[in-house]
Amino acid sequence: HVQLVESGGGSVQTGGSLRLSCAASGYTDSVYCMGWFRQAPGKEREGVAAIYPGARRTYYADSVKGRFTVSQDSAKTTLYLQLNSLKPEDTAMYYCAAGRGGLWYDAAEYNYWGQGTQVTVS
């Protein structure tokens, strides 16, 4: 199993920045892809960004390209999401996820999930 714990959420004004972190522990050798998803009230969970460490590839939703950056530390135990130029529509619960790959934006491709961290932009 893999355990994921997010942190770094909070409340910011429009145009502000936040940095989310996701600490991974357990059998992380089974993980080929790590991603960030978000879910706003009344909406479906959507893929925000993902990273394939082995292939050094990153992917982003069109709505966050140029504003968000996904990265991972050299030990591959912590996933980050830098959120810049935040907008009210970015308000959501943000989740870290880990899986074996496939369609990076498809939540069904991920086996492990964190508990989420709230981001509120006003």
What tens digit of pLDDT does each residue of 39-81 get?
999 999 999 999 987 778 999 999 999 999 999 988 878 999 9
* In contact, 38 and 51? CB cutoff 8 Å: no
Is pLDDT of 100 > 90?
no
Instruction: Give the torsion through C-alpha atoms of 36, 103, 76, 39, to 10 deg.
Output: 10
Percent of the residues in the chain that have a pLDDT greater than 90, as a whole number: 80
User: What tokens does 46 get?
Assistant: 């959507």
Convert the pLDDT of each residue in 21-50 to its tens digit: 999 988 777 778 999 999 999 999 999 999
- Band the pLDDT of 101: cuts 50, 70, 90: confident
pLDDT of the residue at 82: 98
Q: What is the C-alpha separation between 32 and 10, in angstroms, rounded? A: 29
Q: What is the Cα–Cα distance from 95 to 110, expressed in whole angstroms?
A: 11
Type of residue numbered 71: S
